[in-house]
Structure 1
Amino acid sequence: MLKNVNKSAGVALSMALMASVFAGCSGSNNGEAGASSEPAKASPSASQSSSAAASSSAAASAVPAGIDTSKKVHLQFYMLGNAPKDLPKVEAEINKMAQEDLNATVTFNFTTWTDWDQKYKLLLSTGQDVDLIFTADWTQYQQYAKKGAFQPLDDLLPTAAPALNDFVPKDMWNAVKINGKIYTVPATYQEYVTNGFVWREDLRKKYNLPTPVDIPTFEAYMDGIKKNEPTLQPLAIGSDVRGSLNDTYLDVFRKKVGALPYGMFASYDKPAEMTSYWGSPEQLEDLKRFKSWADKGYFSKNELNEKATNQEKLVNGTAAAMLGDNPTRFNQTNGNMKSLHPDWELGYTPFAVATGYATPVHPIHNGFAIPASSKNAERALAFYEKMVLDKRYNLLTQYGFEGTNYTVDGGYYKMVGDANTNGFPREGMQGWAWRNPEFMLFEPSYDGVKAIFDQLDKVQKPDIYTGFAEDYTEYQAERSALEQVEKQYLFPLLAGQVKDVEGGVKTFMDKAKKAGLDKIQESYKKQWLAYLSESGIQ
């Protein structure tokens, strides 16, 4: 039987975290991912490059001696999400440099956020012309690597990208290995991507609503918004109800270990006690809560068909809260919102206030791999080295054109225009994986993010989930069938669209079992327990 989390974290932790959060959410913040109160300490700006940054650029300036660039190649680079409006201009400038440096050109492709997972799967399973592709734990890097979707980089790195090979710490290379091989280049920027409640703080103050620190206070906030702002949607969920609602809720309310699939559940405190959440009394209880939220109008009845992101809904003023987001993206959303509505303000409470712990990002979380179908592996890796270590490539693809898309003011990043008029906002290409801490530009509002990180450091515990690499060979067919069952029968339950919740759960479980749920869960649990044993995790 699952246990509810203790909703009251230690008083000292709560006070420290809350104090830091509201300091970071003050009205003076107006940025995306920004800088600490000591800019030089946080990261050098474009105008005050450190000697380390200079050495990085120098290291990547020459063509690696181990590759042949006599033949011109064109690279296909794939990112998730939506492309910024000024991408063609950035791409054209990058191609001028890449042509001269590597005798190569590139097309930056984007999947959009609509059905990106299906598009991602097609890119890797149909042998399409792809030379570089984003990887993460949430894009199933471990599983794809085990299936041979990516080329091993161990032998390529020393010859095609020697400077990059040296730049990434050895422990990070080791952390991303699957079956002893490196299949992705991990990001070196250290951060927390753990979740926290996000809400319109100006409205909370205006109507004297509770500060969300756990599920009951979050519900009270949504109820207050519904009563006082009846035309405003209290909660943004979007079409990914499994990720943005169910998984996030389990994260804070039941202390679930990572993004365990197939309805499996294990708590962080007792990871070896894996059970089935699907079909349990706890799932029924949670689904009834989601149904009550839908019935009260906390989120739209059309949420499964929503195309706008949750962050966009907060920015444009059509929603008042998100159940969860990470500190950096919260700060980015706050900056975009305030660029359009200076009087509006977002609030943030890390889930650590309720759970008592936070896990730092694992190196697998952001990376780039070379698909097995690529015919230009060496040039692709050499180009990616430029993206990470050559300051010209890095700044251009992270921030756009200085003077047109951004300026540097007192060592800080400053957006030109606002979120609607700027053609390339900060990290507009979702370039999380090639962030270089030596080059990163921050806005002053990053003071709040840094304060959150500092407090999370005090309660950090290791990420015990992301290193696990599932092998679904023996249940691949059942897995595909179950995926369709989830979308047809579970997603409507999560979205509160099924009147008879108990009957809906019974139907879903019947269909899931026919699809092979028992076989999947039994195999997954066996692999999980073996992983815990091999890793020495109790």
Structure 2
Amino acid sequence: MAKFLKSSILLLLLALVVTACSGKSSNESSSSGGDKGGSTSKDPVTLKIVMPGDRPADMDKVIAEIEKRNQPTLNVKLDIVFASWSDIHQKTQIMLTSGEPVDLMFDAPWMHIDAMASAGYYEPLSDLLNEYGKNILAARPQQMWDANKINGQVLAIPLGNSFYKPTTYYIRKDLREKLGLPPVKSYDDIVAFARQVKEKFPDIVPMTPQTQIPMSEVHFRLAQGTDVMMTPMLTDFILYRAPNSPKIRNMLDDPSPVIWSAIQNARQLYVDKIINPDVMAIKDPDNWVTTHPTAVYLATDFGLKADLAKNLLSNLPGSALESFTLFDATPGKNSSTFKQWNFMTVPKSSKHKKEAIQFLDWANASQDNYDLLAYGIKGVNWEDAGNQQYKMLTADKYPWFPYDWIWNPTYDRQDANQEPAAVELNRFIGNADNFQTDVLTGFNFDTSAVQNELSQFNALENQYLLPIYNGTVDLDTYWKEFSDKAGPALKKIQEEGQRQIDAFLKNKS
């Protein structure tokens, strides 16, 4: 706002004065966001937003509705750029390092958020959030903010709803009922069911894990329990810790009986032809399982994925599915570091940092605003199913979308097509107060000192650990080779991680 002129023209400026933010200069062009009103800039600000994935068919229609709704208070336009999942890492890195003006950018631990934030490419957000993003702050529990700082600063807005990574066993319900077995209630029940399938239905594969570490037989089982925990350095249980403990242990020189028992069990299941003999050759497990009969399948999320269940039912007539998880939904039973896997950042190169936060604050200000960005246009892309649930109407035109830019536990809805038990489990893990705060909450592992060792270990992990975790190789031979080759690198990773953890806890106390 220009400074007040002399009284001879003061009346001419009065209308502008009363609609402007008091004491603000002319380059601060929009209001404090949300649905609280405020000034509208004469010319709209266009925000460039970069996100991963394919552009939904109805994206332009949703953008038009967003712009229409925010025009009275923000007058913000959106230029949303999508990059494929395979290109997003490289494309965003080039944008950041070249200084290309971008106002909001998706990033994640599996991309380069720690490296880019540490290198100074992202704007610190505490002041911006305190002034313009109170709805953003309120939509996420304090545990989420405390846990997802980088180098002690809020450099990204965490996107997520859960504080535990859900996993599920898919059980062929029709086969269980034909065998006269009661519903599964434990891991032992799953194995017993799979063994009976092998005996009575020889053309059906009893159990099919997947060819990635998190979905392998050993990792899948351990990750659902509370006996051992993963570490911030490696998430494969070769480095492990006791529940909620800061002490890092090494399976190669300090083996856990729990982990070793799971490894031996996987080997026995494979030898007994319970685990799919072709498990290591399956490149697309979700597609494979819809056309090849298997009695037990390992999958992410609680409950049944609607599309996967539908495909199974259509390709295998007479089949039916049910789900089971080992997760114990007792408040306080599990601890969490409250880490999230998706983030929205404001690059330093942005020319509209305030407006970027104001826009996200508007999106986090009400259920209606959140729903529009998350699910699309109500009555066209989705419908309200009551009890904080939704049903997609045109998933092919605007799929479930909050994870890319606004996901939070306050406004998140549950898919009404889920099993009722899965809805309740998802609500449980979306409540931070249901979890103990892990001792390592807020710790971030700096990999710079052990980059070479991590590269060496990652190659050996795929070569040795994945087949070991699915039971497909002789343990005596493979475990020794893995230990000999991976041992030195693993020890350095362990020692560097422990050094950083000890320093973190000392500074925290």
What does residue range 181-260 of structure 1 map to in structure 2 within 5 Å? 181-187=153-159, 189=161, 192-195=164-167, 197-209=169-181, 211-242=183-214, 244-252=216-224, 255-260=227-232
Structure 1 position 479 matched with structure 2 position 454? yes
CA distance 1:185–1:74, shift in 2 (3 Å): closer
What does residue range 168-183 of structure 1 map to in structure 2 within 5 Å? 168=140, 172-183=144-155
Cα offsets for 1:370-421 (capped at 9, x unmatched):
456766655544443344336555323422343444333556756467xxx8
Displacement of 1:195 in angstroms is 4.3
Displacement of 1:181 in angstroms is 0.9
Displacement of 1:439 in angstroms is 6.7
CA distance 1:203–1:294, shift in 2 (3 Å): same
Measure, in 1, the Cα distance between the counterparts of 2:252 and 2:79: 48
Measure, in 1, the Cα distance between the counterparts of 2:371 and 2:332: 37
SS at match of 1:357: coil
What does residue range 514-529 of structure 1 map to in structure 2 within 5 Å? 516-529=489-502
What does residue range 115-194 of structure 1 map to in structure 2 within 5 Å? 122=90, 125-127=93-95, 132-134=104-106, 145-146=117-118, 148=120, 150-158=122-130, 161=133, 163-165=135-137, 167-168=139-140, 172-187=144-159, 189=161, 192-194=164-166
| Larger RCO of the pair (alpha carbons < 8 Å, separation 6+) | 1
Q: TM-score, normalised by structure 2?
A: 0.71
What does residue range 73-472 of structure 1 map to in structure 2 within 5 Å? 73-78=47-52, 83=54, 87-94=56-63, 97-98=66-67, 101-111=75-85, 122=90, 125-127=93-95, 132-134=104-106, 145-146=117-118, 148=120, 150-158=122-130, 161=133, 163-165=135-137, 167-168=139-140, 172-187=144-159, 189=161, 192-195=164-167, 197-209=169-181, 211-242=183-214, 244-252=216-224, 255-262=227-234, 263-268=238-243, 271-278=245-252, 282=257, 285-295=261-271, 296-299=273-276, 301-303=278-280, 306-309=283-286, 319-323=294-298, 325=300, 329-331=301-303, 333=305, 337=309, 341=313, 344-352=320-328, 357-359=333-335, 362=338, 364=340, 366-371=342-347, 377-389=353-365, 394-409=370-385, 413=389, 415=391, 422-423=395-396, 427-428=400-401, 430=403, 434-435=407-408, 437-438=410-411, 440=413, 442-443=415-416, 445=418, 447-449=420-422, 451-452=424-425, 460-472=435-447
SS at match of 1:87: coil
CA distance 1:264–1:526, shift in 2 (3 Å): same
Moved more, 67-76 or 175-184: 67-76
Measure, in 1, the Cα distance between the counterparts of 2:265 and 2:44: 63
Asked whether the 8 Å contact 1:358–1:461 carries over to 2, the reply is yes
Equivalent position of 1:488 in the other structure: 463
CA distance 1:369–1:199, shift in 2 (3 Å): farther
Q: What letter is aligned with 2:375?
A: Y
SS at match of 2:325: strand
Asked whether the 8 Å contact 1:214–1:354 carries over to 2, the reply is no
CA distance 1:142–1:94, shift in 2 (3 Å): same
Displacement of 1:182 in angstroms is 0.3
CA distance 1:157–1:485, shift in 2 (3 Å): same
CA distance 1:60–1:175, shift in 2 (3 Å): same
Displacement of 1:193 in angstroms is 3.7
Q: What letter is aligned with 1:97?
A: I
Measure, in 1, the Cα distance between the counterparts of 2:427 and 2:77: 44
Displacement of 1:481 in angstroms is 2.6
Measure, in 1, the Cα distance between the counterparts of 2:104 and 2:423: 31
Structure 1 position 505 matched with structure 2 position 469? no
Q: What letter is aligned with 2:283?
A: E
Measure, in 2, the Cα distance between the counterparts of 1:504 and 1:121: 34
Unpaired runs of 5+ residues, structure 1, are 1-57
Q: What letter is aligned with 1:399?
A: Y
Measure, in 1, the Cα distance between the counterparts of 2:486 and 2:380: 53
Measure, in 2, the Cα distance between the counterparts of 1:411 and 1:200: 29
Cα offsets for 1:261-293 (capped at 9, x unmatched):
442111206x24432124665566544433333
SS at match of 2:436: coil
- Greater helix content: 1
Asked whether the 8 Å contact 1:258–1:466 carries over to 2, the reply is no
Q: What letter is aligned with 2:344?
A: F
Cα offsets for 1:416-457 (capped at 9, x unmatched):
67xxx8415862564595246347365275642454478889
What does residue range 14-25 of structure 1 map to in structure 2 within 5 Å? none
Asked whether the 8 Å contact 1:212–1:349 carries over to 2, the reply is no
Measure, in 1, the Cα distance between the counterparts of 2:346 and 2:64: 19
Equivalent position of 1:23 in the other structure: none
Q: What letter is aligned with 1:369?
A: T
Unpaired runs of 5+ residues, structure 2, are 1-31
Identity of aligned residues (%): 20
Measure, in 1, the Cα distance between the counterparts of 2:81 and 2:345: 16
Q: TM-score, normalised by structure 1?
A: 0.68
CA distance 1:348–1:61, shift in 2 (3 Å): same
Q: Which protein is bigger by CA-based radius of gyration?
A: 2
Aligned length: 457
CA distance 1:410–1:145, shift in 2 (3 Å): closer
Measure, in 2, the Cα distance between the counterparts of 1:355 and 1:124: 39
SS at match of 2:126: coil
Q: What letter is aligned with 2:269?
A: W
